Structure 1
């Protein structure tokens, strides 16, 4: 399941064809290839992690030394109008281990009185995260993302078309972005049955996640695995985003997403979830060395038929975080506080997916050289989730993970 490889192969073929007579260095020059390696030492406690089919809230699979991630990103330039982004990830904790991350063409129109117009099409993440600004959609400063953007990295990857217009209004700059997409019908599955999590995992075109133990009601209806990049109902989804950059060192944005899912479309017990959310984001550069950033997301997801007048799954979800960063020389110190909640609005007596929790993280990125950094992070998560009883685990759980990663890049 997932996005068929030929679709990405077709995109690559279009890219190579579009190069025409351009010099080879425009495709494979030193500025077009970027890579990242993450070698990590981990120590943690708490319940079985979600990557191993549990309810755990972190990406920890085991303690000790491990290769966490290898990423390669290709950004060829074909003149002013056409460029591309193609990235692949090797993440040993996922299935499959090696997969496409993003693959899309970027098109840019010449400057005009209307403003700056550009677009992209292919496989990509919608513009929601304010944390993933590194190579291959990675977070350069921390080892775990917020609950919001960890979920975006898991379940909100689309195959579609996006266009944006940026216009200056005096000293202000406003960007409007819209996208139409498919292959994201199952968004909401993992968030409903596992709840929120905080980690650095990035789903690929073919990634499958094992779900934690399900209720007796849901076990015969839902497959034990979920595939985030999947088309089931033939209906498009859409999103829209507005970003405002005033003269002050502030960025404000709002994004609305709706996957257009038909909640009763099903294939091999994989369901098209009806998922929508509103995300608000803000960033304030307090000084040249201090940044304050926040996001808040509120949404809902529904799945299945009605039972005694109630839909099988109808949950609301919300989360918010506040991130404070301080640059010290060439180092970066980051502190983040998260709060999250899932509110099950139906059939709680037989399939309770309620959840409340919070998390705190402190990270230090120390620059060793232009191509190496040491990132150390402590993460604590506290959560209450009644459905843990389906796996014979206490509803209240605390988890603490301390990690140190050597990150090599080029």
Structure 2
């Protein structure tokens, strides 16, 4: 679908006698890191229970090489494709993360503006990942809430958005609402349930499959589950929906509210991929306290469930997550401190698949601006989580993990 949407749009618009402008933006992020924990667990990306992107130990990584290429026509249409590459010990991938066509109308005299998208794109949720190629400019790692979005959520479909710009009526208040109808998210919730909340900077690529953790139920009731989960597969041919609203007061306050439901039909399986019925509410707040201080916070609460072919609740869980970030910027210096809490409540009776989890995390990040587009960053992450499923691998249920990073970042 991605190739058809973007390729078809390029052919169609190229045949119209409108002038076209091109733009290329990117991010290069190189990290040195050190991770330690009390169990020497490998990263969740390798199918273990470590909560960080990187394995225990010291190393260097291409944390992100992201490129956003855009074609923009004078008739308010544009086509965008975003690619990302990641490389660290045993985990090297390159591919596409977004590809869509967009129409962005001009505001009316009363300040009303209509926009729409068609293709593959991120849901309008994150208040952290707002820079090039869905990177976060504030820290080296995304919160666990947004890390899950980058791993399992993508809209493949259409988005309609309407906005009321306050400046047209000399008001400081602006409002927007958007509706997305999507497919290819039938397995959303799989990784959140089976490896729990994680903290990192790794987005799933559209072609990528994710390693599922090992646990006893995979030898019994879940024997048909594939060894890797496909986060962007379509099984039931139903459309999911996401509604998001926003209220802004100039550049001082932004408040977001939304609801996501993949509308999956439970009890279906295709090539080892089960349908998961997943929904959640989300809220976000960005508030500029002073010229130097800003508060950013997000909250999410939802549930996910997967049934067997006979209709038995194999997996059923409720989850919630919240983070609070304070950031301070003065001249070339930027400091961010983030606190987060997360939870998964296992509500099924499947033996050998305990998905309960409770955890807290703290991040302290410092950024120094070398030039307009170059930065040096350092960061410390502390994360404590209680997860009974670690006992299946003879690892401690209560685990404390620490991560230290030093990075060079270039926006181009």
Query: Which residue is 1:343 aligned to?
Result: 345
**Matched residues in 2 for 1:345 and 1:91: separation?**
36
Query: Which residue is 1:239 aligned to?
Result: 242
Query: Which residue is 2:77 aligned to?
Result: 82
Q: Of residues 380, 383, 403 in structure 2, which corresponds to 1:378?
A: 380
How many angstroms does 1:394 deviate by? 1.6
Listed one character per residue, the Cα deviations across residues 244-300 of structure 1 (whole Å, up to 9, x for unaligned) are 124682111101000111121111110111000000111110011110011110000
Query: Which residue is 2:24 aligned to?
Result: 33
How many angstroms does 1:168 deviate by? 4.5
Q: Of residues 368, 371, 374 in structure 1, which corresponds to 2:370?
A: 368
Is residue 92 of structure 2 the alignment partner of residue 107 of structure 1?
Answer: no
Query: Which residue is 2:94 aligned to?
Result: 98
Contact 1:177 1:242 (C-alpha < 8 Å) held by counterparts: yes
Give the secondary-structure state (helix, strand or coil) at the position aligned to 1:239: strand
**Unpaired segments of 5 or more residues in structure 1?**
1-5
Is residue 174 of structure 2 the alignment partner of residue 177 of structure 1?
Answer: no
**Unpaired segments of 5 or more residues in structure 2?**
none
Runs of 4+ aligned structure 1 residues displaced above 6 Å come to none
Query: Which residue is 2:280 aligned to?
Result: 277
Query: Which residue is 2:297 aligned to?
Result: 294
Query: Which residue is 1:42 aligned to?
Result: 33
Listed one character per residue, the Cα deviations across residues 296-330 of structure 1 (whole Å, up to 9, x for unaligned) are 100000002388x9511110000000000000212
Query: Which residue is 1:68 aligned to?
Result: 63
Query: Which residue is 1:56 aligned to?
Result: 50
Is residue 209 of structure 2 the alignment partner of residue 211 of structure 1?
Answer: no
Give the secondary-structure state (helix, strand or coil) at the position aligned to 2:392: helix
**Matched residues in 2 for 1:137 and 1:67: separation?**
16
Report which stretch shifted further, 46-55 or 290-299: 46-55
Give the secondary-structure state (helix, strand or coil) at the position aligned to 1:149: helix
**Matched residues in 1 for 2:92 and 2:117: separation?**
26
Give the secondary-structure state (helix, strand or coil) at the position aligned to 1:222: coil
Is residue 131 of structure 2 the alignment partner of residue 134 of structure 1?
Answer: yes
Number of residue pairs the alignment of both structures matches: 399
**Matched residues in 1 for 2:312 and 2:341: separation?**
28
**Matched residues in 2 for 1:17 and 1:36: separation?**
30
Contact 2:267 2:309 (C-alpha < 8 Å) held by counterparts: no
Equivalent residue runs for 1:109-128 within 5 Å = 109-112=105-108, 113=110, 115-128=112-125
How many angstroms does 1:148 deviate by? 0.7
How many angstroms does 1:95 deviate by? 6.7
